[in-house]
Amino acid sequence: MKYYNKLIFEISKPGRIGYSLPQSDFGNYSLTDLPRSLRREAPAELPEVSELDVVRHYTNVSNKNFGVETGFYPLGSCTMKYNPKINEEMAALPAFTTLHPCQSEESVQGALRLYYELAQALAEISGLAEFTLNPFAGAHGELTGLMLMRQYHIKRGDLKRTKVIVPDSAHGTNPASAAVCGLEIVEVPSTPEGTIDVAKLEPLLDDTIAGIMMTNPNTLGIFEKEIPQIAKLVHGCGGLLYYDGANLNPLLGRCRPGDMGFDIMHINLHKTFSTPHGGGGPGSGPVGVAAALVDYLPRPRVVKHGDRYAVEGGKDSMGSISGFFGNFGVMMRAYAYILSLGKENLKHVGELATLNANYVKESLKDCYYLPIEGICKHEFVFDGLLDKSTGVTTLDVAKRLLDYGYHAPTIYFPLLFHQSIMIEPTETESKETLDEFIEVMRTVAREAIDDPEMVKSAPHVTPVRRLDETTAAKNPILRFKDLNN
């Protein structure tokens, strides 16, 4: 198929239209009655194209993309599982999509009930008391959770607690969310085994600590088995424990953050609960809290009185973090997933994801360097190729995988190793898919020895090849108007 490389602006022709609007018959009302000084001078230069032009253009543009339905994503910490079709059908039901968010409670009982039931289901899966579904994404959930943490201390008059502890293996959003929330970040190092160094954590704990942010299993895929001790220490100093739910998938059916001692957590519905990533959103980052924090949850809150559902504010609430109820359409998809699997299937998600990850790890550790041995959970990290003499880097391996029809793993994260390759195969991938991927990974390792230049110049058969990112950043061209070629 021919490579399509036009922008929508480049197929525009004056006079074409792609819409049909109803005729209106309101008489002599004209926008030109508005004062000239309040109207824009020249029209916005939007494209002028027919409907078929638009359909062909965005179909051809889509063909330059890779998605879960194109092929396998071994992408660490991203949980790229299958996005079921029934979820999409449910999210498109007009009985929900036509609801205005300011309608009366009476007229949106079904939507409020869905919100409430999903929140209840997440609370059960997490072992926490209550959830807000308002946060729009994982990082937004982290920010909301940290605001809740601060609100808890503020409401107790405990104003000194302005620091939060973040492990050095944490996702980048953790320290970034803490900074937006006005917290000072204190980093705690990992042990050589990849888990939090409890001996180094202890001296950090005093009455200025608001809490700790952790993900468990951590970003190396290792379960922090000292968690009961960590919870005891952090609670002992008056701090709270925040759980980053990006890595929740392997725990389904096996372990609950609330039972581990966490007080606050977020869940990425677009990871664990199968909603599509959409090329970078919309996600959804529900936040759950233990009973002591329920009154601080953000506005609006959906509550149940008898058999009616209502929307409330709450005088101790931390405030609003969204214009309305968050990404409701994403919640519908996640709830369809939970109802489909039900309690008897949800409990197998974690163990099958963990089985897949360990299978891939054990099948490749003779070609790629595994810095931390042992059973992992949903993901694991290699520190580049075992044979470092070839000069082939993690980036090269990632790019070569694109030629073979795979998305690359997460690379150069976590920062604990120089050549991190982070792999997470989810439970929806079959043994055959994994076997083929393992074979390709082994082939690339061989190619690195036999023909390193070919690997270093990969990819070779993708729609475009390696890009000049340096020039892009040095002289940014960020809109069509500035593009002169």
Please list every residue from 96 through 135 that binds other proteins, using CB under 8 A: 96-104, 106-111, 113-114, 121, 124-125, 127
- Residues 42-71: x/- map of binding to other proteins (CB under 8 A)? -xxxxxxx-x--xx-xxx-xxxxxxxxxx-
* Distance in Å, CB of 200 to other proteins, minimum: 19
35 binds other proteins (CB under 8 A): yes
Burial class (CB in 10 A: 0-12, 13-18, 19+), 282: middle
Burial class (CB in 10 A: 0-12, 13-18, 19+), 117: middle
295 binds other proteins (CB under 8 A): no
Residue with smaller CB distance to other proteins, 237 or 355: 355
Site for other proteins in 161-180 (CB under 8 A): 172-173, 175-180
CB 17 within 8 A of CB 48: yes
Which residues are 382's β-sheet partners?
Answer: 421
Residue with smaller CB distance to other proteins, 41 or 199: 41
Site for other proteins in 137-166 (CB under 8 A): 137-140, 142-143, 146-147, 150
Contacts with 210 (C-beta within 8 Å, 6 or more apart), sequence order: 146, 149, 150, 153, 161, 162, 163, 164, 183, 239, 240
Among residues 208, 363, 390, 443, the one that binds other proteins under rule CB under 8 A: 363
192 binds other proteins (CB under 8 A): no
Interface stretch with other proteins, choices 237-245, 357-365, 385-393, 445-453 (CB under 8 A): 357-365
Interface stretch with other proteins, choices 201-209, 237-245, 329-337, 444-452 (CB under 8 A): 329-337
Residue the block writes with tokens 């104003």: 159
372 binds other proteins (CB under 8 A): no
Residue with smaller CB distance to other proteins, 13 or 446: 13
Phi and psi for 373 in degrees, rounded to 5? Answer: -80, 170
* Distance in Å, CB of 437 to other proteins, minimum: 14
467 binds other proteins (CB under 8 A): yes
CB atoms within 10 A of CB 56: 14
Render 362-378 in DSSP notation, one character per residue: HHHTTTB--SS-S--SS
436 binds other proteins (CB under 8 A): no
* Distance in Å, CB of 176 to other proteins, minimum: 4
| Calpha distance 145→120 (Å, rounded) | 18
Cα angle for residues 302, 306, 308 (degrees, 5° grid): 50
Residue the block writes with tokens 């032009």: 53
How many chain residues interact with other proteins (CB under 8 A)? 200
